[in-house]
Amino acid sequence: MTNDIKQKNINDSDEGVSRSTSNGMNKENTKNNKTRVVKESASSAMSAEVYNQKGKSVGKLDLPVSIFGLPWNSDLVHQVVTAMQANARTPIAHTKTRGEVRGGGKKPWRQKGTGRARHGSTRSPIWKGGGVTHGPRNDRSYDQKINKKMKIKALFTVLSEKLRRGQILFVEELSLKNIKTKDAITVMNELSKVSGFEKMVGGKRPSTYITVPAKSDILKKSFANIKTIEIDEIKNISPVDLLAFKYIIISQPTESFAFLGGKIEKVASSK
């Protein structure tokens, strides 16, 4: 009887050892598989068509996977966008407390003997014309801290999702000789002939966001009268702007990619 119990305990311990060893191997294999998938995705090349101002294809462009190959992360994007909107908020509504309202220094009536409730000021929050309790104040701060890595990753996540949905158009170069809204409209009409971007023009709501590597007064003033289009430098791009517009036009993509890649290097070097 005793020998049978000992033999059973030995068998159970052997099973436990083999089971734990197999679990460890499974975890190691899973980790290796994940590493292999990351390496394969990093090494896989991404490319996109590049067009000129007339909407004609001029070749293909290799896209950096670190910018356009990120998976969608709704939690990260939501946290960064709400924080940026809060940081841009300027409180306007402001109410006065009972100590800030003018008047009310005299006691309305004596403490006892009148039969009425006791009061010390006519500017109490329960009086008409009195102060406000827990009202909005313009000295309130809505600022939220955003880590640089989070902000950059959220930006690249939105760019990756826009590319997957076919809402990013790469243009070789945008250039106009003179400040003319008519010329800007002509350019947009030509670019709207590209497949998938037919609805880029027209409509009443903002639909297109154009980025350029350097400031250009000619472009900015030419597109200023087109209410559905906004043009800005690539250095000012943010997840809030990208999500506010359906279509994104990136002019001179090579220079733009170099600037966006520099953001990653800056964060890495600041460690």
Mean pLDDT of the chain: 85
Q: Specify whether 72 is located in the same domain as 105.
A: no
From start to end of 91-236, where are the E strands?
A: 168-171, 208-212, 229-233
Number of folded domains that form the chain: 2
Q: Specify whether 100 is located in the same domain as 221.
A: no
The answer to whether residue 18 is domain-embedded is no
Q: Specify whether 127 is located in the same domain as 249.
A: no
The residue range of the domain holding 117 is 91-141
Final residue of a domain: which of 141, 171, 204? Answer: 141
CA 244/CA 150 separation, integer angstroms = 19
CATH number at residue 199: 3.40.1370.10
Distance of CA 42 to the CA centre of its chain: 23
The answer to whether residue 4 is domain-embedded is no
Determine contact, residues 219/176, Cβ cutoff 8 Å. yes
CA 226/CA 210 separation, integer angstroms = 12
Q: Specify whether 224 is located in the same domain as 104.
A: no
CA 250/CA 241 separation, integer angstroms = 13
pLDDT tens digits, residue range 169-223? 999 999 999 999 999 999 999 999 999 999 998 888 889 999 999 999 999 999 9
The answer to whether residue 28 is domain-embedded is no
- Bridge-partner residues for 5, per DSSP? none
Q: Specify whether 247 is located in the same domain as 156.
A: yes
Q: Specify whether 200 is located in the same domain as 149.
A: yes
Q: Specify whether 56 is located in the same domain as 113.
A: no
CA 131/CA 100 separation, integer angstroms = 7
Q: Specify whether 133 is located in the same domain as 151.
A: no
Q: For residue 265, name the pLDDT band (cuts at 50, 70, 90).
A: confident
The answer to whether residue 23 is domain-embedded is no
Sheet holding 57-63, edge to edge: 57-63, 46-51, 168-171, 247-251, 208-212, 229-233
pLDDT tens digits, residue range 175-189? 999 999 999 999 999
Q: Specify whether 258 is located in the same domain as 184.
A: yes
Q: Specify whether 156 is located in the same domain as 241.
A: yes
Handedness of CA 127, 131, 134, 138 (dihedral sign): positive
Q: Specify whether 122 is located in the same domain as 164.
A: no
Give, in degrees to the nearest 5, the angle at Cα 194 between 174 and 57: 65
pLDDT tens digits, residue range 15-42? 444 444 344 434 444 444 433 333 334 4
CA 68/CA 46 separation, integer angstroms = 8
Going by C-alpha positions, the residue among 207, 213, 201, 221 that lies closest to residue 170 is 213
Q: pLDDT at position 100, please? A: 94
Neighbours of 160 (CB within 10 A): 22
